[in-house]
Amino acid sequence: MTDKEIHLRAAPSKEAVVRYLVGEPNATTALIKSFIERSVLIALGIHVFGEKDNIIRNTIGASLAIEMYLLWYYDKQLKR
């Protein structure tokens, strides 16, 4: 690992999920903020490159799938 990699912060979505899983104060707010930010990015990508029909449903579905995966993945690691 390089010096630059060592000093990089984790992605906001990972930080929010881990804070939520360990029960930190205001973690739910951080989780919701991360979900909304990701949703906006997904919606922009769908709008520019994808099928614009059902953009809201597709955006929420994609963001929710990512959020559920992150919650499962980091919860599994914390239980080790």
Percentage, residues of the chain above pLDDT 90: 78
Mean pLDDT (whole number) for 43-67: 93
As given in the structure block, the two tokens for residue 63 are 């963001």
As given in the structure block, the two tokens for residue 48 are 């520019």
Q: Which residues contact 76 (CB under 8 A, 6 or more apart)?
A: none
> What's the CA gap between 19 and 1, in Å, rounded?
25
pTM: 0.82
DSSP per position, 50-70: S--TTHHHHHHHHHHHHHHHH
